[in-house]
Structure 1
Amino acid sequence: MKALAVLTLALAANAVAAQTPLEAEAQDITEAFMLSLKSSLTASLQEGGPVEAIQHCQHLAPSLAEQFARKGWQVGRTSLKLRNPNNAPDEWELAQLLAFAKRLEQGEKPAALFASQQEGGEFRYMQAIVVGKPCLACHGESLTAEISQILDARYPQDKARGYTAGQLRGAFTLRKALNEP
């Protein structure tokens, strides 16, 4: 849970660094999404451990994304190592994920790992998700046989394993169509 708190602080630090109103709005939505996901997963981990968290997360994350799709925003998550193939990055997202991974390896703080772009009548925003210790129960190098079996059954194409704390897990990704004058 401490690692999730670090992510919370990282997102809060970004809110101060926002340069445009759209970045600030995207950061606020990202933080709210992350906090809702974190609190719900923390509760399911406490109630039933990683097994409960996997079951909960599979249904929770998409419904939370829809809740936070307010004011025209599309909200989601993506990664270089997908658990759900429906979350595959597009070209811009892939470029940002690769840049985030490089910047993280070079020692940049997780709070600085965000990017935005306004192009073609659309604003896009991404914020890195860095692996914390609680994430390792379902995404780490040493999964229990039970967790591996559940993940295999629920996510037959799962690639989101083998992480260590501090690595790039993926990113929150948001987009909003802009009104053309």
Structure 2
Amino acid sequence: MRVILLFSSLFISSAAFASNADEARQTIKAFSSDLKQVLVSTMKQSGPLAAISVCNTAAPAIASQHSNSPWQISRSALKTRSSDNQPDAWLKNVLLNFEQRKLNGEPVASIEYQEQRPDGWYFVKAIPTQKACLACHGSQIDPTVSKKIATLYPNDQATDFKLGDIRGAFVVKRASENHQ
């Protein structure tokens, strides 16, 4: 009887993880699509200088729009632009693991991780560096763009990326019942 209960518990738990992962992926897809649309549109119309300002104000607002209780979405990275996005020790280890998985040949677009923690369930998905990212995050940034970045983000570390690098990660958290 205990074996059946344990198996049932594991099955229910893995089904809940799969359902949460699907919802997290949908949240990430909606958030990243909206953010990309705003940034690409601004880049085309006004160039990278304007896109930096839009990213500075629009990215947090778009994240808030896609953070519906009990879900919260954010971004983090090993090399952050905004100090608000610094990873804690747990997330830093997840991001370091992502880098190792990339080195082992796993495609960046498919790298993800999920874990139940005391304060909630977490889903983390790697963000691949795309060509459009390089205007502000690459190694050859226009000096006027660099100056604007330094003004908005005095502690910026998010440069010298190459196409296909892990730019950072989307982090989706579903708060535990007792932490909502």
Q: TM-score range by the shorter chain?
A: 0.7 to 0.9
SS of aligned partner of 2:123: strand
Unaligned stretches of 5+ residues in structure 1: 1-17
Native 8 Å contact 2:77 2:86 kept in 1: yes
Selected match of 1:114 from 112, 115, 119: 112
Q: Distance in 1 between matches of 2:93 and 2:169?
A: 12
Native 8 Å contact 2:109 2:127 kept in 1: no
Q: Which residue in the other structure is 1:138 paired with?
A: 136
What is the percentage of aligned positions where both structures have the same residue? 34
Q: Which residue in the other structure is 1:94 paired with?
A: 92
Selected match of 2:127 from 111, 126, 129: 129
Q: Distance in 2 between matches of 1:153 and 1:19?
A: 42
How many residues are treated as equivalent by the alignment? 163
User: For residues 1-181 of structure 1, what are the structure 2 equivalents within 5 Å?
Assistant: 20-179=18-177
Q: Which moved more, 1:105-114 or 1:79-88?
A: 105-114
Q: Compute the TM-score of the two structures, normalised by the length of structure 1.
A: 0.86
Q: Which moved more, 1:112-121 or 1:140-149?
A: 112-121
Q: Distance in 1 between matches of 2:155 and 2:17?
A: 38
Q: How far did residue 150 of structure 1 move?
A: 0.6
Q: Which moved more, 1:150-159 or 1:110-119?
A: 110-119
Q: Distance in 1 between matches of 2:164 and 2:117?
A: 32
Distance 1:19 1:174, change over 3 A: closer
Q: Compute the TM-score of the two structures, normalised by the length of structure 2.
A: 0.86
Q: Which moved more, 1:107-116 or 1:163-172?
A: 107-116
Amino acid corresponding to residue 25 of structure 1 in structure 2:
E
Q: How far did residue 113 of structure 1 move?
A: 0.5
Amino acid corresponding to residue 155 of structure 2 in structure 1:
Q
Moved over 6 A (4+): none
SS of aligned partner of 1:20: helix
